[in-house]
Every structure is written in structure tokens, then in C-alpha cells.
Amino acid sequence: MARHLITSALPYINGIKHLGNMVGSMLPADVYSRYLRQRGHDVLYICATDEHGTPAELAAKERGLPVDVFCGQAHDAQKAVYDGFALAFDYFGRSSSAQNREITQHFARKLHENGFIEERSIRQVYSPADGRFLPDRYVEGTCPHCGYDKARGDQCENCTRVLDPTDLINPRSAISGSTDLEVRETKHLFLLQSKLESEVREWVARHDKDWPQLASSIAHKWLTEGLHDRAITRDLDWGVPVPADTWPELAAEGKVFYVWFDAPIEYIGATKEWSDQDPENRDWKSWWYEADQGENPVRYTEFMAKDNVPFHTVMFPATELGIREPWKMVDYVKAFNWLTYYGGKFSTSQKRGVFTDQALEILPADYWRYFLIANAPESDDSSFTWEHFTATVNKDLADTLGNFVNRVLSFSKKRFGDEVPVGGTPGEAETRLGEQIAELLAEYEGHMESLQFRKAAAALRALWSAGNSYLEEKAPWLQIKTDKDAAALTLRTAMNLIHLYAVVSEPLIPATAKAMREAFALGDDTAAWVTADEAKSLTSVPSGTAFTVPPVLFAKLTDEDLDNYKTRFGGQEQ
């Protein structure tokens, strides 16, 4: 059985992330990781804060903090939010770690030894007002491709085109705002991607049939435009330093590696951070080095939004190929489009949309987890509106699932007491229900295994709906008047559905799943998943099992709630 290595794009350190960031990487990675663990796979889910580069320096400057202090505080703040969303990372690291520095410098040395790094003199933007060279994100201006007037010197947030600072129209310093900029000569290291292009092209071609179209098309678009040699060092105070044993002059000048060179390496660095905490029981290298060999090869899946795809399907693969060592390369890239906010982009920098800490202030995590997965922007961009969110919560979570659980348990407690009722023999309706549940469960499993999250959520919702249809068909509130055993059978069958829902819903709504499962006093309840036979028989919770009625699982949202959300966050087409 393959081991599953899972990573999600590293969130930048400069502030709490919005819902678009959550659904585009970390949440689906968590759902998939939870599902695989429940199915008995060996899973390692790794993520980390991306702490280097100009965003960290600028954010620290804005808060009047040393950059290392700022990053430490910001890491803890982000981790608290992700804990609130119940993201079950095996490890959530930091790209500023000693482990990442060590591995990044090793990669750079090997690339140099193999002839894929070259020192070049370039002309770079210099700000006399700031007394320093300005790395890419320290320069802002108008994008020459789309006219967006807040483009950064490395990439336009609006059209996603990769830029150099000298490409910008009307450039200005992001530090002082000064437009008195000069172009001076300085030296930097370049990764010779042009020499690796044919290898990258062959590697991408091998995945054409496996990857989703979004990931594959973006990779081919970059390859069609040609891979250009790219500067991988910057003039910053914060970052992985250029090793003095290899480039003494640049090290003396304080050069550090470009954040997009060291950030993907942090997937490996964070795994070593995890391993170093318990070296006797954790072997980080077996997940990354010669990981395709042996009886338990590693299958590596990455999750990211579409703006991160070029770096993970072209730039980082070029790095790994150029090292000429057997480091694990990604097998499957699950790429997402954007979740928009009323038709406009969520934006961390412009504070537009709902941010993850605000979301948790409003409602528990499971409300958000379900909605986001059920509306994941897989085949196209999808739009967040408060109207859609409210309708989904009320219909799917409160009515279809929550009301089913409450109706069944409350009615059974009232008419039969605190134990699962005895009586009745399963008949045609129960056989038909079991077959339907087994079929829907297989559909749900298939979508989860193929990483089709919207379809998986729809299949899960269909499982919940099947219980409601059964309950309406059998009507135990009427059966109890004439045939107590028939009512007992119906309620016992429905209680078994609740337990099944608890098990299979855990990847999407873990807290609610736990509450449903704990409603039944099953001392030996160790079921990780539900087999087809168990789904058909629906006998995991036997007669006589004590149970309790949990608090309301999902509160319905009112028109007043909707109005309050729209007033606080805005709710109109952009």
C-alpha cells in the first residue's frame, strides 16, 4: 500500500488568510488526508508558513517589529486559526527554520555543481531615498499587460503575469513611496531554467493524463512561452543566506535566496522539522529521498490555487531535476480556480472578503468546511455570497442532516427511552435502503479518491437525504400509534444511519461527526470506515445501546443574520 505525502501551498506570513485561500489549498488537503487516514493509509500532511521575502519585511516594518519577532507571532496567529478550522496537519512548520536553511543551501550547491546556477551582473532598481536596492516586491507600479496600478515587481495580482520590477510602468518604492528610482548594476545568482526546459517538458508530459486540466494547461502555457533563466537571490535582510563557502562575495553582500526558491523546499524542510522532534520514530528522508523505491512507495499530492501552479509544475520541478539526486517529485497537482466574493477577488492585501478568523467568530468551523467543499472552485471560479451561504447552511446542514438527527433521537427518547429500541424485523424498505446507502457510499468514495470535492459533497448530501426519505416513507410518528415494533425498527435503522453519517462525514465536518458518534454509548466503537456490507445491513448500533440527544448540530440562519453579515462584510456584485 502506498504512503501518501500531502502538501498544501504555504500561506504567506503577512496576515490572516481569507476563505479563498482556505478552499484553494489547505481545506481540501485536510479533507483528503482525513479520508485517506480513515481508509487505513499511511498519510503525512505537511504545511508551513512562508516567511521569507518582502511581504514579511514590509508587514514587520508596518507593525514596528523585528522581522523574526513578527514572523513568530504571525505563525502562531495563523496556526491558531487553522486549529480552529480543525486542519489536521501532521506538522505545520516555518520556512525560516534551520532545517529549511540547511536543505535550501544544499540544493543550491548541487545545482551549482551541476552547472545550473550562474552568477550574473544585472541592472536593478535602486532607491536613493531608501539607500538600498529594491527587490521585486519592494517595487510597485502599473502592470504593462493589464494596466492594474498596484502590480508588484514579481507578479501582477490582477492578471497573474510574472514580472520583473523594471517591467512596471510608473514604478515607486513600496517602502517610502518614492518615485525617484535609479537602475544600478549588482550581482545575483540565476537558475538556468533554459538548460532544464527539455527535461521539465518531458516530465510534465508524463503527467498529462493524470493531472486535472487546470494544472496541466497552466504548466504547458509556461512551457510554450519558454523557460527563462531566473534570478534566485535578492537584496534582503531576511531569508536563507547564500552560503559563503560557495559564493563568498555575494554572501558578504548579504544576499539571500528568492522566496520562491526556498518556499517549495520548505515542504521537505518542514518534514525534517517534524522528524527532528522525534528522530527515533520519524524518518523524514524516507518520505522524500528515494521515496519511490521499496514496498511502500510514496504518492505525493499537492494542493494549490491556480496562481501557485506555475511554481510547482515548472519552477520547482526544474530545481529538483537539476539537483541530480533522487528527491521525490509530485505525482498529482490538485489545482483550484478562485473563490470570488460577489464576483470580485478575495484579497489579503486589499482586505476584501471574509477572512478565516472572522469566519470562526461568526460560526463554528463545520459550517464553513462544508460550504467551501460543496462549492469548491474546481472546474471554474465560484462565487461566495451570503445568500448562497445561508441557503446552503439551512437546507443541507440544518434541515437535511441536523434535523434528521434531532428528530430521530428526540422522538425515540420520548417514546422508547434512553436506549436504542428493540423490535421489528427488517423488511423490503430496509433492504432497499441498505442497497441505496451502499451505492451512494461507493459513489462518495469514488469522488473522494479522484479528488472531486464538489461531487463528493453532493454524494454525502445524497446519503443524508436518503435517511430523510426513509423516515418520511416509514413515518414512525404514525407507526407508533398502531405498531410499536414497526416504529422501533424504523428508529433503530435511522439511528444506524446517524452512526454511519458520523463515520463517513468526518472528513468534511469532523466536530459534528464526533458529536453524532458520541451520541451512542458504544464502548468498542473503533470503526474507521463503513464497508458495503455494513452499509447494507445497518446494524452497527444494536438494540439496547444507550444514547443521548446531542445539542442542535446546526442552527438555522435567519434573515436578520443575513442582513447583519451583509452589513458587516458587504454584499453586492463587484
Q: State the pLDDT confidence band at 174, using cuts at 50, 70 and 90.
A: confident
Higher pLDDT, 292 or 318: 318
Q: What value does the mean pLDDT take over residues 501-529?
A: 95
Question: Can you give the pTM of this predicted structure?
Answer: 0.93
Distance from C-alpha of 514 to C-alpha of 570, rounded to nearest angstrom? 34
Whichever domain contains 318, its CATH number is: 3.40.50.620
Shared domain for 250 and 351, answered yes or no, is no
State the pLDDT confidence band at 78, using cuts at 50, 70 and 90: very high
List the grid coordinates of 487. 416504529
Axis-axis angle for helices 428-449, 453-474 (nearest 10): 170
* Domain endpoint, select from 225, 257, 289: 257
Do residues 191 and 311 lie in contact, with contact meaning Cβ atoms separated by under 8 Å? Answer: no
Please report the pLDDT score of residue 228 as a whole number.
93
With a pLDDT cut of 90, the percent of the chain lying above it is: 85
Q: What is the structure's pLDDT at 61? A: 87
Instruction: Indicate the residue among 231, 257, 283 that finishes a domain.
Output: 257
Is 573 a domain residue? no
| Cβ atoms of 141 and 171 closer than 8 Å | yes
Determine, yes or no, domain membership for 245: yes
Domain CATH code at residue 429: 1.10.730.10
Kindly state whether residues 392 and 362 are assigned to the same domain: no
Span of 166-170, 187-191, 557-561 with lowest mean pLDDT:
166-170
Segment 528-552 shows an average pLDDT of 96
pLDDT at 236 (0 to 100): 87
- Average pLDDT in the 4-26 region? 95
What pLDDT shows up at residue 526?
A: 87
Rounded Cα distance, 21 and 128, in Å: 36
Distance, CA of 180 to CA of 395 (rounded, Å): 58
Q: Which DSSP category does 396 fall into?
A: I
Annotated binding-site residues for Zn(2+) read 143, 146, 156, 159
Degrees (nearest 5) of the Cα angle 355, 10, 457? 60
Pair (419, 360) in one structural domain: no
Residue 349 has pLDDT above 70, yes or no: no
Tell me, yes or no, whether 190 lies in a domain: yes
Tell me which of 464 and 157 has the higher pLDDT.
464
The verdict on residue 553 lying in a domain is: no
Do 424 and 517 belong together in one domain? Answer: yes
DSSP 270-338: HHHHHHHTSTTT--HHHHHBSTTSSSS-EEEEEEEEGGGHHIIIIIHHHHHHHHTS-B---SEEEEE-P
Instruction: Give the whole-angstrom CA distance, residue 174 versus residue 571.
Output: 31
Interatomic CA distance for residues 499 and 497, integer angstroms:
5
Residue 8 CB coordination number (10 Å) = 30
Q: What is the pLDDT of residue 523?
A: 85
Q: Tell me, what's the pLDDT at 574? A: 44
Q: Which residue, chain included where needed, has cell 510602468?
A: 169
Residues 461-502 have pLDDT tens digits of: 999 999 999 999 999 999 999 999 999 999 999 999 999 999
pLDDT at 348 over 70: no
Q: How far apart are CA 448 and CA 466, in angstroms?
A: 19
Question: 434 and 532: one domain?
Answer: yes
pLDDT over threshold 90, residue 57: no
List the binding residues for ATP.
Answer: 348
Region 348-375 average pLDDT: 90
- Both 393 and 315 in a single domain? no
- Residue 126 sits in the same domain as residue 191: yes
Answer whether residue 448 is part of any domain: yes
Establish if 561 belongs to a structural domain: no
Q: Are 401 and 519 in the same domain?
A: yes
Torsion of CA 459, 462, 466, 467, to 10 degrees: 90
Distance (Å) of CA 56 to CA 17, 137, 464: 14, 11, 45
Written as nine digits, the cell of 101 is: 536553511
Predicted confidence at residue 157, as pLDDT, reads: 82
| Domain termination residue (choose one: 240, 257, 274) | 257
Same domain, 196 and 318: no
37 shares its domain with 152: no
CATH number at residue 179: 2.170.220.10
Domain assignment of residue 31, yes or no: yes
Domain encompassing residue 195: 115-257
Percent of the chain predicted with pLDDT > 70: 98
In a domain, 216, yes or no: yes
Number of domains present in the structure of the chain: 3
Q: Contact at 8 Å (CB) between 238 and 67?
A: yes
Q: Are strands 117-127 and 344-345 parallel, antiparallel or unpaired?
A: unpaired
| Contact between residue 277 and residue 108 where contact means Cβ atoms under 8 Å apart | no
202 and 289 inside one domain:
no
- Average pLDDT of the chain to the nearest whole number: 94
- Pairing type for strands 298-305 and 3-8 reads parallel
Same domain, 390 and 378: no
Average pLDDT of 208-223? 93
Known binding-site residues equal 143, 146, 156, 159, 348
| Reported confidence tier of residue 136, pLDDT bands at 50, 70, 90 | confident
